[in-house]
Amino acid sequence: MSMAMQFVFLGPPGVGKGTYASRAGPQLGIPQVSTGDIFRAEVKSGSELGNKVKGIMEAGGLVSDDVVIEVLKKRITRDDARKGFILDGFPRTIPQAEALDGIAKIDMVLNIALPEDILIEKISARRVCRNCGDLYNVASIDREGIKMPPMPPKEEGKCDKCGGELYQRADDKEEVIKERLAAYNKQTSPLIDYYREKGILVDFKPTAGPEEMVPKIIELLKEHGS
């Protein structure tokens, strides 16, 4: 496997892209690049960009392509991304995918899929650290051949890493989740065929928690790294 490993994790909101990317990336020596995390950090800092996107994100909307692409270009040219990266949450549309083709050669797209009812349960049970952004989940799922234990903090309401307060993001509430899934089905799911036609899409259905799934994902990434 050569030095360059440039991947996209594709899938609906709540499917686990962020969890898998944040765990697989360090083991491969490449960063997880989440445009959502970048924008949330900007909102928290009160920057001009953060103020611009705050209302859009709180409503579960999508930030404009030109803004997202400009932010992404800056991120993937940083030193830590020289060996590659895992894109989490980008691209979301065909035009974004076409723009990405012009700035990076993607080795593989991992298409992660789960039934919608399970996604809604998973997302609404997600908790995020207000300070460092670490993720937890209080849902316990065991049906449809899928067994996903909860990933709670050691102390309820408190982050294991920094002790920060855990909260439910506004876009993780059920009514917003349904809007996000509808937006995904309309705008993002066409990317499945887009990347399948390029011959770089690999389907993946999680059936257990991250401890069991991450090693399988890492093997897939190693297999398809350029």
Report d(CA 210, CA 149) in Å as an integer.
Answer: 9
Where is 33: in which H helix or E strand? Answer: strand 32-34
The token duo for 138 is 């209080």
Annotated catalytic, 130? Answer: no
Verify whether residue 196 is a known catalytic residue: no
Give the pair of three-digit tokens for residue 92: 């979301």
One-letter amino acid at 28 equals L
Identify the active-site residue in 23, 40, 126, 127.
126
Tell me if residue 92 is catalytic. Answer: yes
* Given the residues 23, 40, 75, 92, the one annotated as active site: 92
The residue behind tokens 């937006």 is 183
Q: Which of 23, 40, 122, 180 is catalytic?
A: 180
Q: Which of 169, 178, 196, 216 is catalytic?
A: 169
**Which residues are CB-contacts of 13 (< 8 A; sequence separation ≥ 6)?**
119, 123, 177, 180, 181, 184
Residues 206 and 214: their CA atoms lie apart, in Å, by 10
Please say if 75 is a catalytic residue.
Answer: no
180 is catalytic: yes
Q: What SS3 class is residue 225? A: coil
Whose tokens are 């020289």? That residue is 82
Query: Exactly one of 17, 23, 75, 122 is catalytic; which is it?
Result: 17
| Cα 52 from Cα 180, distance rounded (Å) | 20
- Residues that are catalytic: 17, 92, 126, 169, 180
